[in-house]
Structure 1
Amino acid sequence: MVSASLLFLLTVGCVCGGAAAERTLQYVTVLFRHGDRSPVKAYPTDPYQESSWPQGFGQLSQEGMKQHFDLGQFLRKRYTGFLSESYDRHEVLVRSTDYDRTLMSAESNLAGLYPPSGQQVFNPNLIWQPIPVHTVPQSEEKLLSYPASDCPRYQQLMNETEHTPEFLNVTAEYQDFINLVREKTGLNKTNVESVWSVYDTLFCESRHNKTAPDWVTPEVMEKLRLLKDFGFQVTFGVYKQQEKSRLLGGVLLGEIIKNLSKMAVPDPKNKLKLMMLSAHDTTVTALQASLNVFNGRQPPYASCHIIELYKDDDNSSSVSMFYRNDSKVDPYPVQLPGCTLQCPLEDFVRLTKPSISDDRDKECQLPDGRDTEVIISLALSGCVLFLLIALLLGVICWQKEPMGNRGYQHVINQEAGEES
């Protein structure tokens, strides 16, 4: 009887302890790719040029709008009780790259997340309300657009990547296929890195019921898909991944870490709960590569990486991550290497620090060519000076040696001009 009572108390204690260990959500960062779109460009022999698309190249489709409206509704359901039912400008901040498709994706998402109610309804026939989406000109975008063209060191890393065994092996394996793609598309140049654009164009056309050319078989599409995924791996990894991350996704990761650390400190004046970032497949990949959690495959339309900050029962903070790459299933948890699924904030900061640069612009620069020339010039000058000094010392020594042995020296009588 005593044993049964003790077992009961232990069970109750465990249940109560589990309840007491519940975490409280404090802050969320959501990064997503835009929704379905038209191709960014067409290859020369493509029968579907820009005029074949209602809004032209690179534009969000109705399907893409629906994808993000659905994602917004998912976020509404997930964060019920955390976010206010009605839009509160203090709770959410939305940032997008300066592209039509990402701006429109953010707006579609917000339509699903914040349907107006009560006083926020300004037109009873319209279940929508305007919510600000912030952006900067693409020429000034350093947070959400990758890979960056303003980083010479990254370009050097990519050149070095092309000489790695893995890159050379894939190139050799698919060289005949790459030549076939070049011939069929009319492109002047195709390689492992650039061939992904052909896949992207054909993929977009297939989603929009465009008839594929005869040469585009399922086998061709599968090979293009494999090369496309390898192109993503090459861009953000394969060779010196951590250094690439410091120049690419580490910039965004550093900003996220800064916000997590700030939000972990209670501040009654700070009511921000959700940071929403609308960007591209390369942005999602860059962030995941900097976290070392990239699965090697291109993020699909409306895929979403979620980072949640919690306050634990001992007043410490922890971080959990999730990835939603399929609207038919719940997002799956993502574990930071070296940590647990519920990663203590201090460990999350420590483990991600190697991927974050203290001065990205400085790390992007290559040694100045003029400095190299100066170093070479100084080295050559030093060598010449050394030779001159050695020669001078040799002459001095040569002159001293005859003066010390008069018996073997001819003396010239300067006045008479004769030898004595």
Structure 2
Amino acid sequence: MAGGGRSGFLSPLGLLLLISGHVLSSVLLAQAHRLRFVTVVYRHGDRSPVRAYPKDVHQESAWPQGFGQLTQIGMRQHWDLGQALRARYKGFLNETYDRHEIYVRSTDVDRTLMSAEANLAGLYPPQGAQVFHPNISWQPIPVHTVPDSEERLLKFPILPCPKYLKLQEETRHSPEYVNKTRENVDFMQMVANNTGLSDCSLESVWSVSDILFCESRHNLSLPSWATKEVLQRLSDLKDFSFRFLFGIIEQEQKARLQGGVLVAQILKNITAAARDAANGLKFIAYSTHDTTLGALQMALDVYNGKQAPYASCHIFELYEESPGNFTVEMYFRNDSSQPPFPLTVPGCAHRCPLQRLQSLLDRVITKDWEKECQLSSPVNDTEVMVGLVACGCILFLLIILLVTVLFRQKSQTIAYQHVSDVGEEQS
């Protein structure tokens, strides 16, 4: 009875073990699924059109800063995105700007550089000692870039690349492209007549859609022919032109030459962070274009078939689940009124193990981009063999001819008899 009565109590050692177990479980739980590294790829904000069509009444003078420039709407969009990133990574990123933990790179284009700056203004409003003027709630933060002629990471399609151009020519002969052209030939002719464009094809009509979209967004009058139905059809063709660039046929091969280049760099950065080789870097931001996001998402095979909207943002997050065990999660923010929605690479769960993700994406990563971009020789193996045999036969005949000539010369030397002409002269 005495033993049974004591069974309801823990000895001091048992109590200590129980408390230790709870503490250890709490520590492990806190360490599980710990955010370690973030990469974001975003499109610039709202802009003016990059050009006007010949008959457009709104030429470059209609836009305060001219064509292709970030508008004040676009500035606010990226300030909002910066604020959203600040809220999402509260506790992960330092409350104030720390140059060691963030790196921002942009294409060398006004609208992407300015978008990155507006984004950083929302992400890192100055506090305390970082306030350099009492009336300015902004601080300068570096945005890195390379000359446009040297850009081989963030602007697509990357050219020159002969193999990619050959794939595009093959795409133009694909059934889907041919049928799409046939279905819209009269429509595109109507657009050409009304815009004054001499070239209006599936690959160029996107610009008309873009111009009319920009004008309508900024309350500029649209021509009478640009009805709601016409605008929708133009928008659909614009989306098709993005698929033409990076898909329709040979999507994987195109990805190796285009979006896979960016995928490879992102994975390289993530892997370095997992190995603690990022030197304190926690966050990389790439300020880019709609074609960049299209190429990236086509390579990842998560593209939804629609042009990425202004200030949309593709997010990669690296988590450490346990020591040495890492996963990657992806999200896409394409609506400022909604939280980012999850993206999943086919063949893996949303919370994808890093090694599994690397294995799945290896198919779109080339080891030597310059070499793979080159066209293979049009001469096939059979032609090579025939050429070698022919050369061999000619060489053999030449050797036989040479031996024959040498043999005849030797024979003539042995048979020669000198006849003295002294006696004839004396006679």
- What is the TM-score normalised by the length of structure 2? 0.83
Taking the aligned partners of 1:205 and 1:63, their CA distance within structure 2 comes to: 13
Comparing 62-71 and 376-385, the one that deviates more: 376-385
Q: Secondary structure at the match of 2:318?
A: strand
2:192 alignment counterpart:
182
Taking the aligned partners of 2:290 and 2:220, their CA distance within structure 1 comes to: 23
Deviation at 1:366, TM superposition (A): 1.4
2:231 alignment counterpart:
221
| Structure 1: gaps (5+ residues) | 1-11, 394-420
Taking the aligned partners of 2:269 and 2:96, their CA distance within structure 1 comes to: 24
Q: Secondary structure at the match of 2:303?
A: coil
Deviation at 1:379, TM superposition (A): 4.5
Query: For residues 235 and 261 of structure 1, do their structure 2 counterparts lie closer, same or farther at Cα, with a shift above 3 Å needed?
Result: same
Query: Partner amino acid for 2:92?
Result: F
**For the Cα contact (< 8 Å) 2:37–2:319, is it kept in 1?**
yes
Query: Partner amino acid for 2:46?
Result: D
Q: Secondary structure at the match of 2:322?
A: coil
CA deviation map 1:127-177 (0-9, x unaligned): 000000000000000000001231111110000001111111111111110
**For the Cα contact (< 8 Å) 2:108–2:147, is it kept in 1?**
yes
1:149 alignment partner, one of 155, 159, 163: 159
> How does 1:202-281 map onto structure 2 within 5 Å?
202-267=212-277, 270-281=279-290
Given the alignment of the two structures, is residue 360 of structure 1 paired with residue 369 of structure 2, yes or no? yes
> How does 1:382-401 map onto structure 2 within 5 Å?
382-383=389-390
> How does 1:275-290 map onto structure 2 within 5 Å?
275-290=284-299
Deviation at 1:382, TM superposition (A): 4.8
1:316 alignment counterpart:
325
1:116 alignment partner, one of 114, 119, 126: 126
Question: Structure 1: which 4+ aligned runs deviate by more than 4 Å?
Answer: 15-21, 375-390
CA deviation map 1:40-91 (0-9, x unaligned): 0111111111111110100000000000000000000000000000000000
CA deviation map 1:320-372 (0-9, x unaligned): 00000000000000011100111000001000000111111111111368xx5
Query: Partner amino acid for 1:91?
Result: E
CA deviation map 1:214-240 (0-9, x unaligned): 110000000001000011111111100
Deviation at 1:266, TM superposition (A): 2.5
Query: For residues 81 and 388 of structure 1, do their structure 2 counterparts lie closer, same or farther at Cα, with a shift above 3 Å needed?
Result: closer
Q: Secondary structure at the match of 1:312?
A: strand
Taking the aligned partners of 1:97 and 1:250, their CA distance within structure 2 comes to: 17
Deviation at 1:315, TM superposition (A): 3.5
**For the Cα contact (< 8 Å) 1:20–1:313, is it kept in 2?**
no
> How does 1:17-416 map onto structure 2 within 5 Å?
19=29, 22-267=32-277, 270-367=279-376, 372=379, 379=386, 382-383=389-390
| Structure 2: gaps (5+ residues) | 1-21, 401-427
| Alignment size in residue pairs | 375
Larger Rg: 2
**For the Cα contact (< 8 Å) 2:103–2:284, is it kept in 1?**
yes
Query: For residues 132 and 384 of structure 1, do their structure 2 counterparts lie closer, same or farther at Cα, with a shift above 3 Å needed?
Result: closer
Taking the aligned partners of 1:258 and 1:303, their CA distance within structure 2 comes to: 23
Taking the aligned partners of 1:25 and 1:71, their CA distance within structure 2 comes to: 20
- What is the TM-score normalised by the length of structure 1? 0.85
Deviation at 1:265, TM superposition (A): 1.2
